[in-house]
Amino acid sequence: MLWTRLYLVFALYVVLIGCKKPVDSEPSVVWNVPETPEHFGAQFIPNDNPLSALKWELGRKLFFDPQLSSDGSTSCSSCHLPSHAFGGSTPTTPGVGGALGTRNVPVLSNIGWHPYFTREGGVPTLEMQVLVPIQETNELNHNIVLIAEQLNSDSLYVKMTQDAFGVDPSPYTITRALSAFERTLISGTSAYDRWLEGDASALSQAALRGQDVFESIGCGQCHSGPQFSDFELRNNGLFVVYPDSGLYRLTLNPDDIGKFKTASLRNLSYSAPYMFDGSVATLDDVINQYAQGGSNHFNQAAAIQPFEITAAERMDLKAFLGALDDPQFIAWGETLAP
């Protein structure tokens, strides 16, 4: 019995040694993802996609790799610019071959707290969302099965995927790695976050007054919670006739025409122009749009009501919204390109 026990102990030791990752498979020194502020609460992370450093490193490489596009010209980062909170800088962004974009690129900061994805909320998980830009003809215009085949001919990708998942590159590993990486794009070091965490000096007097203006004119009805969005699908009265019908495209219910997911207000200074189509150029234009009470579209949300705002109140409101910017997050994001 003693020899049997010793043999079992030795066999277990061999198995454990065999499972240990080699030193050269460890992630690069870039792995220093932002911490989640306590007031954010927990992200929903699927059981089949827990975060790991090796998976993150693979996702980071994929995010910046133009191989994900059909002509090798465009990566996720070509549209989701780190310097713009992983959003866009123009009304729309062209895809492969200069194909015209149709929607403003949304920021990816704090995407892990979104309950559903795309502008009309039609995709239930981040893992599924990855497929949307890959296959859209005016974005990456590719096929994830073909992408996996390409990656299997790249020895570095094969090694990184084996290290992270224990298998060769596949649609499963590509979507999981990209999603894991995107969930670490955590922007939680703004002046407002520091103020919430107890730094009374983090917000200026103008920003504190602006917070009161924000609530008094009704912004907080929709832009609520730690992400400054309740993520509801609403028609905000942008147009009388919507060239992009929003949620209606999925439901064919006339009550859904012009409904889009309420955008977060974090990092606004980095993500102009605004609205789902990038048709509103500046923050002052946004304030003017809402102050006039929208366009009175028949689906317009009841929360969109006209209001008056003085020049001083406008300045204070903009000071508060500016306190939601996170320069530290932007600086970190700009270090991520491999």
Which residue shows structure tokens 């234009």? 285
14 has a pLDDT exceeding 50: no
How confident is the model at residue 251, as a pLDDT? Answer: 98
Domains along the chain?
46-186 (1.10.760.10), 191-330 (1.10.760.10)
297 has a pLDDT exceeding 70: yes
Q: What is the mean pLDDT of residues 158-186?
A: 98
pLDDT digits (tens, 9 = 90+) for 59-113: 999 999 999 999 999 999 999 999 999 999 999 999 999 999 999 999 999 999 9
Q: Any bridge partners for residue 123, and if so which?
A: 117
pTM equals 0.89
310 has a pLDDT exceeding 50: yes
- Structure token digits, residue 14: 């061999």
Q: Is the dihedral of CA 174, 70, 131, 82 positive or negative?
A: positive
157 in Cβ contact with 149 (< 8 Å): no
111 in Cβ contact with 185 (< 8 Å): yes
Nearest to 96 by CA among 74, 64, 67: 74
How confident is the model at residue 338, as a pLDDT? Answer: 87
